[in-house]
Amino acid sequence: MPPKAPQGKAGKNDAASKAQSGKKDGGGGKAKKKKWSKGKQKEKINAAVFFDKNLYEKLKKEVPNYKLVTASIISERMRCNVTMARRAIKDLELKGMIRCISKHASQSLYTRALAAAE
């Protein structure tokens, strides 16, 4: 027994839409692959690895004037790596140029040491 033919206009439209949708979806092997975006990438900076005399003088001059001092802020503004920034914070705290607000395992917050506070 032969297959039944679609009845009326609705049947013809269904068959036509299936044929067109097959071409749009690319169900065969000729479909284009989706191109994934690489996403937003932060610009890489050339961070200093050692303190030279100029950088250390700049650090001692500018950092005690910051309202908020963290390792990430120093590394970003002074273009040095975070390990150096942490060492610099310890040094400035020992010299009394900055004081600790909050110390935690992951983040330490410091502020400028005001003369009135001491």
The encoded tokens of residue 82 equal 């975070």
Which residue do the tokens 């001092």 mark?
A: 69
Q: Say how far apart CA 74 and CA 70 lie, in whole Å.
A: 6
pLDDT tens-digit series, residues 46-73: 888 889 999 999 999 999 999 999 999 9
User: In degrees rounded to 5, what are phi and psi of residue 10?
Assistant: -60, -40
The pLDDT of 30-52, averaged and rounded, is: 82
pTM assigned to the model: 0.60
pLDDT tens-digit series, residues 9-19: 655 555 555 55
| E strand or H helix at 54 | helix 53-62
